[in-house]
Structure 1
């Protein structure tokens, strides 16, 4: 049944923050805890064997979903943030030194910036940032020009959670590899919305979060090329990541176990597997095509709102947008807009810096409002949102 908030039908437009969960995912979680709750990889009894089989099946589903060569290239983490921190603290601290350069864009999520700031402080490596073009898209040309033999790593998003732009990852990877650099891709806003093929992209590392792709919270994954994962030391120490433990030293398991210390989020990983089944059943190309249409409609309808400023590229035949719009309305704080939309119209959007403070500062603002859609949203909901936004603006301007 449709949910109501403050006496209004809920219109949920905060999918960039987290997605809603289908009943198949909830049932998968429920079934694990009711039917075969046990720890994985440790017991020989029926329940443990069943839990292990389902947990490893979820890993294989992730690998298939992004077209990894094998399931061993998938490491389960708590979220994409932990996945990036894993790479930073394992690969980064082992391979970076003073004079090395890490290239990022000003549009990166905090989770893709802060871990590398910490690594730079410890190693002496330098962070270099690419700015935006006049179309408010990260300047890929400048990024490619910045590459040199000093570049050891490029950290880029696939789809921006603020600008709704998509970066040409394949081209970036090709040029980065030409100078001997590795590439880490933040795919949190792409994996849920389009078919992502890691072998085609060529990225060395890629991260995503379950909760943005219809799966449970508390689990995400790192994709890493097999040879890189085998070269990396453990990130955390303890159970499950060991081969043998002695009083004076330990030996470590092969990846991915080497990076999954302790009891993992078993039910959540199984739920992620169910989410992948659900998305695959619909078809990622079908989802992407529908959302591309929805994205254009959202931009077009929002553009009709007076005194609005939408961030990111203008959609065209050559430049599409992800199904989200970050915006500001002249003389009205985005938090006031979001609060009024929620309490007076039942429309859920986000306000704030969207974990992208450097980007907001670059654009000359402290915060913005953001409406972000998923495949279960409709044009009617977009219309309701825009009508509610116009009503919100009228309310606030009546006091000016």
Structure 2
């Protein structure tokens, strides 16, 4: 019975052994090349498996890197101008032709594949670039190990210039401790800022100081976005390839820029309209004998208003003739020449000797 049980167990192991390999390979992304060596100007075919389905990847040739330590210096050590983008299929696999270009730093070189959107994932494959210089890698990091001991926070505030589109800036503050067995001198952190679902943009920040084993220190690292940035951002801190902390950052919209464009849209058309009217006023034809400017209409002449004559007494004789008796009777606007108050036609007295139609008749007076 023992022999039979042992034979059955061996048979099961032989059957399951081929299945165990793909399962382990699917635990992480992998990259393979069609050739391990190529010269600048040539090309290689890059294939990958184990990636997330329908994910956008960036494929680059990078120097100063190994699969074990990754790319030292980030994408600054890669030939970014000759990179290629590729999207994985439904099974998380891809294949892409990549031109071989010399990276800006010496080899050892790798083909570096990393995600552009979503969760971060990367993988490297060794590539020997023929004719490119080779230099030893920097010394391995010490046996120290950093760990975050307190919650990270972003300090600082936006000023008036940020409201008008200046780059927003903050300070990432956290307390770290050395949990390793060796001292850490002048550690170099990588600070990444990601907007929405896009991959972070990394910058290197060096903290000056020495952290002995079992000690802790407060680290302050500057963080700055591009001009006019707004929306929801995520600040990520990495050291030695490990993510130490992540902090959300909500950046307000620069409304000063919007106000500037609104005022510009109002002021410029108004100024153009005024300039156009001035040009039209200059080039329009002049009137004969005029200066080209519009004249005001003349004011009406002042009208003479005469006082009404005083009523005469019934017993009084005809009025004495004066030097002004023969002057023409002024014409008022609301009377006709025959109806002027106090004139010959409007006077209630008897006809006088100047009337051509009515002779003067003596008045007979009775006894007193």
After TM superposition, is the score higher than 0.5?
A: no
- Give the structure with the larger strand fraction: 2
Q: Which has the larger radius of gyration?
A: 2
What's the TM-score, normalizing by structure 1?
0.17
- Give the structure with the larger helix fraction: 1
What's the TM-score, normalizing by structure 2?
0.18
